[in-house]
Structure 1
Amino acid sequence: MKIITETKNLILREVEIEDTGYMYDLDSNPLVHEYLGKKPISCIGKARAYIDSIQMQYKKYGIGRWAAIEKSSGDWIGWTGLKMNTEWSPNGHTNFYDIGYRFMPQYWGKGYATESSIAAKDYFFEHFPDQKLCGIAELGNGASCRVLEKIGLERKEDFFYEPENLMLAWFEKCMG
């Protein structure tokens, strides 16, 4: 197990194959996918494929999503972290680093999204000081928009993402 960093309440570590069941529980939950296009996964194979893609990010880009473990309980509560996004081009943006998180509903409202995102942002700018960090949130997800603003990303534009029929907000920050 490779621990990336710790915060006051969380241990942030690399995602492992053994997390497949947890990832399935997270991404098959309709509440979790309320602001993610409302398309929860329906088979554990998709959870494993997602973990494979995260592990590829570690090898290829030196970053990735991290498992979030609550210190007080030892529970796997979701994921947080970074991604080099090469699969889609929202509103003309291509090949960008993004920050994101996804937690089980019973851990919402505890400040973990902000806490873990600050750690991820700090990690990013320590290791990639000349790069831009981006964040995307569905407009209806005010909580996620506030997290991105709290960690210092600036809201640059709102746009319609046609394939998913979503209104999204684009945030970014550069250190240089």
Structure 2
Amino acid sequence: MIDELRTERLLLRPLTLDDADEYFRVYGDPRTWAHLPSGRHTSREESERAIQRSIDSQVRFGFSHCAVILRDGVEGLAAGSFLGTAGASMLAFEAWNLGYRFSPEAWGRGFATEAAIAALDAARRAQPAIPVTARVLATNSASQRVLERLDVELVWRGRSADAPADDADTAHLERLIFADRPIDAATLDAVIALG
């Protein structure tokens, strides 16, 4: 089980229910969901349920999403600040889903890339035989740039499975899927079906 990760500037540690207020501050902020407004948490209880899923995944698979804490202060952010989350969750089939979400105050400083590199490595160590995938909306250029800096490759680009057939503005529905290794067609189809 992977309990703690350290990077040059960050500490990634397993989420606990004590993180619920800070987690909700990030996940309830509409700015962090500009590309997918329907994903925003609307209650602290929703954030608690997400944290509990991470706790359960940590126990079952040896890794999950982590709290990302700033080790030393930087301009505008104090040491010990909860910046957001990064990690991977096991999907219903044998594939990790890499993800990260940071408070707007942490944007533009390279924290997401730094945390995502550590999370990718941890998922690979926790379950080496399981591929690590990541999904991003094509309109989310910041998250796309993070993935392009990781040891993953673009394996699919297309319209979301849940996209309305008559939606004229399809740009916001296009997704990109990255993976850390070649994945079989059934796994790729299952990741695409997640929307």
State the TM-score bracket (shorter-chain normalisation): 0.7 to 0.9
Q: TM-score with structure 1 length normalisation?
A: 0.87
Deviates more, 1:142-151 or 1:74-83: 142-151
Contact 1:130–1:174, Cα closer than 8 Å, also in 2: no
State how 1:139-150 maps to structure 2 within 5 Å. 139-150=138-149
2:137 & 2:37 partners in 1: Cα distance?
Answer: 9
1:16 and 2:16 are equivalent in the alignment: yes
State how 1:61-76 maps to structure 2 within 5 Å. 61-72=61-72, 73-76=79-82
State how 1:158-173 maps to structure 2 within 5 Å. 158-163=157-162, 166-173=173-180
Contact 1:136–1:170, Cα closer than 8 Å, also in 2: yes
Amino acid aligned to 1:115 = E
1:163 & 1:81 partners in 2: Cα distance?
Answer: 25
Contact 1:7–1:115, Cα closer than 8 Å, also in 2: yes
Which structure: greater strand fraction? 1
Q: Match of 1:42, SS?
A: coil
For structure 1, the residue ranges without an aligned partner over 5 or more in a row are 87-93
Q: What is the deviation of 1:162?
A: 4.0
Q: Match of 2:88, SS?
A: strand
Amino acid aligned to 1:69 = I
Contact 1:148–1:171, Cα closer than 8 Å, also in 2: yes
Give the corresponding residue for 1:32. 32
Q: What CA deviation, in whole Å up to 9, does each residue of 1:40-87 have, x standing for no partner?
A: 22211101111111111111211100000011211011000111022x
Give the corresponding residue for 1:77. 83
Relative distance call for 1:173 and 1:39 in structure 2 (3 A) is closer
Q: Match of 1:157, SS?
A: strand
RMSD, matched Cα: 1.8
Q: TM-score with structure 2 length normalisation?
A: 0.79
Give the corresponding residue for 2:56. 56
Q: What is the deviation of 1:161?
A: 1.9
Q: What is the deviation of 1:23?
A: 1.2
Identity of aligned residues (%): 25
Amino acid aligned to 2:156 = E
Q: Match of 1:74, SS?
A: coil
Give the corresponding residue for 1:90. none
Which runs of at least 4 in structure 1 moved beyond 6 Å after TM superposition?
none
2:163 & 2:28 partners in 1: Cα distance?
Answer: 18
Contact 2:61–2:126, Cα closer than 8 Å, also in 1: no
2:174 & 2:69 partners in 1: Cα distance?
Answer: 31
1:74 & 1:164 partners in 2: Cα distance?
Answer: 40
Q: What is the deviation of 1:19?
A: 0.4
Aligned length: 167
Give the corresponding residue for 2:76. none
For structure 2, the residue ranges without an aligned partner over 5 or more in a row are 73-78, 165-172, 183-195
Give the corresponding residue for 2:126. 127
